[in-house]
């Protein structure tokens, strides 16, 4: 092809113009750092060392519950499941953790994480018993290729497989639910970071496993073609993969497998860069490779998938490069997940005692860990041990707008513009310059003649922008809630007023009714008449007795007799009141009115309560519905307010 001609042309040219090498690959920019790969490539893969303790951090996310299958003091076997996502989680992004070796759960406590923040997380600490007794086929697989994508996803979830290239996104969540969506499966064998050789060695030693894993995924998801991209500086790996592909292709005639040699440029291993290089497709911003019909996994991920499907073996160890200029013997090893960094680093015989922080990842994208005892996690591909830095600090010079970073950016961004705006805290402008498409590869910082830590600025800007968005959302929510509250208070006030009004109206009505005697109250009036007659008779007898007293003057009544008399009178009065309870028609009317008003109010209350209840139930349905309800309520409240205003305006004509 023309590439041979191009290479012949570029090679001599690159001596006087090094960046001519950028013409050999299809994506924009890129840099050519010294690789140092031979340091760790010289030695064969070292056998697994079981450390004194294994630290397994448990990823915790708000709103995601974890099901614990072990407690402190339990004895666990290799491959035993320690935690998994609780069943009540709607979408599980928590992948299970399995015991990397047999031993005792020593503690479950907060331990420092291999994360740039240096934060701690709850971790399971296992004291290995060094017997390494294992449970076989813990995933209960048949060893056959899964029939549906869902079956494959279940296996990958239960095996705890995440993207081993570096991002660590759960692999099962990346897979589509239907067959036929993906047309190309890409095996990412481009290991572009300096020092790192673990993928290279994996391809050399387990090429069959990698390709078998890829074929299984392709068969399950109905993918017709597999492309594996490997950089030209890994000739042994290319050879091994080609040999494996040749033997495997005989068994799968309807599948095409291509092993493609790529130019060695950093960051070839970036997902979108590799896609562009292999297929010419530029995955649009804010979309994923899957939206373009592509699925990309790292070689290590495919090897893990193969082991999970055929052996039912969960992900408990991975190939890690321990390299750096600070080591006498850089090497690769199959490290158990949870092995402390320092244990692995010491095995490489450091030239100087390790006092500076170790680096997880390569020199371009890696970060310093806060504590050298942090464990190897599933995404740890390299532990970099660099010699102590010279005391003279590299002085950051001002940006001279040379544009080198812009030429180097593999995503076609404008790093110098983003830098200016980040420095000035104009995060809106940084966002407009698509800072979220930045893959933080570090090419811009690498080429910067002023040694400006550009990527640090973009990382900071990204977190700030996220924070600003979260605050805006919170403000919007607070506004809605405040307005809803105001509307509710207004509504309650109106309801109270309406209740009082209704009460008053009811009282008036009752009073007017009581004044007119009606057929129904004839019995009452008869009773009143009878009571009146009785009272008159009593008065008459009293008068008579008084007269008698005056006339005959009987002997004075004893105190006892007097008491009897008064008791009798009281009883009579009681009976009278029972017969004619409504001595005062006005009070009875008042009582009746009160009752009626209370009834009406109660009815209204139950009605509103009912409405509220129905509101509440529908709220539970979904947040969207709740928002709609809220909006509706707001709307009605607004309308009501508008009506009220209009009424007021009518009542009080402007002067």
Partner 1 sequence: MEEWFISITAAILIFVGLAIVFGLLLGYAAVRFKVEGNPMAEQIDKILPQTQCGQCTFPGCKPYAEALAKGETEVNLCIPGGTDTMILISEITGLEPKEVEVTEAEHKPKETAFIDEDVCIGCVLCIKACPVDAILGATKLMHTVIQSECTGCDKCAPVCPVDCIDMRAPPVSLENWQWPEPTIKSEGEAK
Output the smallest distance, CB 55 to partner 1, in A: 16
Nearer to partner 1, 280 or 398 (CB): 398
C-beta separation of 211 from 247 below 8 A:
no
Nearer to partner 1, 57 or 229 (CB): 57
Nearer to partner 1, 32 or 420 (CB): 420
C-beta separation of 318 from 378 below 8 A:
yes
Interface residues toward partner 1, by CB under 8 A: 61-62, 113, 115-117, 119, 121, 393, 395-398, 452-453, 456-457, 459-460, 462-464, 467, 471, 474-479, 481-486
- State phi, psi for 299 to the nearest 5 degrees: -60, -40
For 410-444, b where at least 16 C-beta lie within 10 A, e where not — what string? bbebbbbbbbbbbeeeebebbbebebeebbbbbbb
Nearer to partner 1, 233 or 423 (CB): 423
Peptide bond between residue 267 and the one before it cis (omega within 30 degrees of 0): yes
C-beta separation of 383 from 340 below 8 A:
no
Cβ neighbors of 161 (< 8 A, separation 6 or more) are 95, 170, 171, 172, 301, 304, 305, 308, 315
Output the smallest distance, CB 79 to partner 1, in A: 27
Q: What is the phi-psi region of residue 168: left when phi exceeds 0, alpha when psi lies from -120 to 50, beta otherwise?
A: left
- DSSP secondary structure letter of residue 373: T
Nearer to partner 1, 122 or 173 (CB): 122
The arrangement of strands across the sheet holding 294-298 comes to 256-262, 225-231, 184-189, 294-298
Output the smallest distance, CB 367 to partner 1, in A: 10
Nearer to partner 1, 28 or 460 (CB): 460
Q: Which of 438, 398, 441, 404 is nearest to 418 (CA)?
A: 438
> What is residue 63's three-state secondary structure?
coil
Nearer to partner 1, 332 or 445 (CB): 445
Nearer to partner 1, 148 or 622 (CB): 622
> What is residue 522's three-state secondary structure?
helix
Q: What's the gap between Cα 562 and its chain centre?
A: 90
Nearer to partner 1, 482 or 529 (CB): 482
How far apart are alpha carbons 58 and 69 in whole angstroms? Answer: 13
How far apart are alpha carbons 508 and 521 in whole angstroms? Answer: 19
Nearer to partner 1, 123 or 279 (CB): 123
Output the smallest distance, CB 107 to partner 1, in A: 21
Nearer to partner 1, 288 or 459 (CB): 459
Output the smallest distance, CB 646 to partner 1, in A: 13
Nearer to partner 1, 481 or 595 (CB): 481
Output the smallest distance, CB 70 to partner 1, in A: 23
Cβ neighbors of 627 (< 8 A, separation 6 or more) are none
C-beta separation of 414 from 406 below 8 A:
yes
Output the smallest distance, CB 402 to partner 1, in A: 17
Output the smallest distance, CB 374 to partner 1, in A: 14
How far apart are alpha carbons 436 and 380 in whole angstroms? Answer: 24
Output the smallest distance, CB 119 to partner 1, in A: 6
User: How many C-beta neighbours within 10 Å does residue 100 have?
Assistant: 28
The residue ranges of DSSP E strands in 254-375, in sequence order, are 256-262, 294-298, 317-323, 331-336, 359-360, 367-368
Nearer to partner 1, 485 or 539 (CB): 485
For 16-47, b where at least 16 C-beta lie within 10 A, e where not — what string? eeebbbbebbebbbbbebebbbebbbeeebbe
Output the smallest distance, CB 456 to partner 1, in A: 4
Nearer to partner 1, 560 or 623 (CB): 623
Output the smallest distance, CB 619 to partner 1, in A: 13
Output the smallest distance, CB 60 to partner 1, in A: 8
Output the smallest distance, CB 423 to partner 1, in A: 8
- DSSP secondary structure letter of residue 384: E
Task: Give CA torsion, residues 515, 521, 527, 530, to 10 deg.
Answer: 60
Output the smallest distance, CB 626 to partner 1, in A: 13
């Amino acid at each position: 092809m023309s590439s041979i001609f191009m290479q012949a042309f570029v090679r001599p040219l690159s001596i006087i113009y090094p960046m001519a090498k950028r013409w050999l690959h299809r994506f924009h920019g890129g840099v050519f750092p010294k690789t140092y790969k031979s340091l760790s490539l010289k030695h064969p893969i070292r056998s697994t060392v079981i450390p004194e303790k294994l630290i397994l951090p448990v990823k915790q996310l708000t709103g995601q519950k974890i099901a614990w299958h072990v407690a402190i003091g339990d004895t666990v076997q290799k491959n035993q499941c320690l935690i998994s996502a609780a069943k009540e989680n709607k979408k599980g992004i928590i992948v299970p953790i399995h015991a990397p070796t047999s031993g005792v759960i020593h503690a479950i406590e907060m331990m420092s994480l291999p994360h740039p923040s240096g934060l701690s997380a709850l971790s399971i600490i296992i004291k290995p018993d060094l017997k390494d007794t294992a449970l076989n086929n813990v995933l209960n697989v048949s060893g056959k290729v899964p029939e549906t994508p869902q079956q494959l996803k279940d296996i990958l979830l239960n095996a705890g497989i995440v993207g081993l290239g570096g991002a660590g996104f759960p692999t099962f969540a990346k897979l589509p639910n239907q067959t036929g969506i993906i047309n190309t499966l890409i095996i990412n064998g481009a290991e572009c970071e300096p020092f790192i050789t673990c993928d290279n060695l994996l391809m050399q030693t387990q090429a069959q496993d990698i390709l078998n894993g890829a074929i299984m995924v392709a068969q399950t998801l109905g993918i017709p073609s597999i492309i594996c991209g490997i950089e030209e500086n890994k000739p042994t790996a290319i050879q091994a993969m080609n040999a494996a592909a040749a033997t495997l292709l005989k068994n799968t005639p309807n599948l095409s497998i291509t092993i493609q040699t790529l130019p060695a440029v950093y960051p070839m291993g970036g997902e979108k860069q590799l896609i562009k290089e292999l297929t010419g497709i530029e995955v649009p911003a804010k979309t994923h490779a899957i939206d373009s019909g592509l699925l990309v996994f790292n070689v290590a991920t495919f090897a893990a998938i193969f082991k999970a499907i055929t052996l039912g073996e969960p992900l408990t160890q991975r190939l890690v490069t321990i390299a750096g200029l600070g080591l006498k013997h850089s090497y690769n090893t199959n490290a158990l997940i949870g092995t402390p960094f320092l244990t692995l680093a010491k095995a490489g015989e450091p030239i100087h005692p390790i006092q500076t922080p170790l680096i997880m990842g390569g020199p371009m994208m890696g970060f310093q860990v806060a504590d050298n005892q942090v464990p190897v996690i599933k995404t740890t591909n390299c532990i970099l041990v660099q010699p102590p830095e010279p005391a003279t600090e590299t002085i950051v010079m001002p940006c001279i707008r040379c544009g080198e970073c812009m030429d180097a950016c593999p995503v076609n961004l404008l790093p110098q513009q983003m830098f200016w705006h980040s420095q000035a805290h104009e995060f809106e402008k940084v966002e407009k310059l698509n800072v979220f498409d930045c893959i933080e590869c570090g090419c811009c910082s690498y080429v910067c003649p002023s040694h400006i830590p550009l990527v640090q600025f973009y990382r900071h800007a990204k977190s700030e922008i996220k924070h600003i968005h979260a605050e805006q959302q919170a403000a919007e929510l607070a506004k809605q809630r405040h307005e809803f509250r105001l509307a509710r208070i207004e509504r309650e006030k109106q309801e109270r007023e309406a209740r009082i009004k209704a009460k008053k109206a009811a009282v008036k009505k009752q009073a007017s009714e009581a004044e007119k005697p009606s057929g129904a109250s004839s019995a009452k009036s008869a009773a009143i008449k009878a009571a009146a007659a009785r009272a008159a008779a009593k008065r008459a007898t009293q008068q008579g007795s008084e007269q008698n007293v005056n006339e005959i003057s009987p002997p004075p009544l004893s105190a006892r007799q007097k008491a009897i008399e008064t008791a009798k009178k009281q009883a009579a009065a009681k009976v009278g009141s029972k017969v004619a309870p409504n001595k005062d028609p006005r009070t009875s009317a008042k009582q009746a009115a009160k009752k009626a008003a209370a009834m009406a109010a109660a009815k209204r209350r139950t009605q509103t309560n009912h409405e509220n209840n129905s509101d509440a139930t529908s709220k539970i349905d979904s947040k969207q519905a709740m928002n709609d309800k809220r909006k509706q309520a707001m709307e009605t409240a607004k309308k009501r307010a508008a009506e009220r205003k209009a009424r007021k305006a009518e009542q009080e004509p402007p002067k």
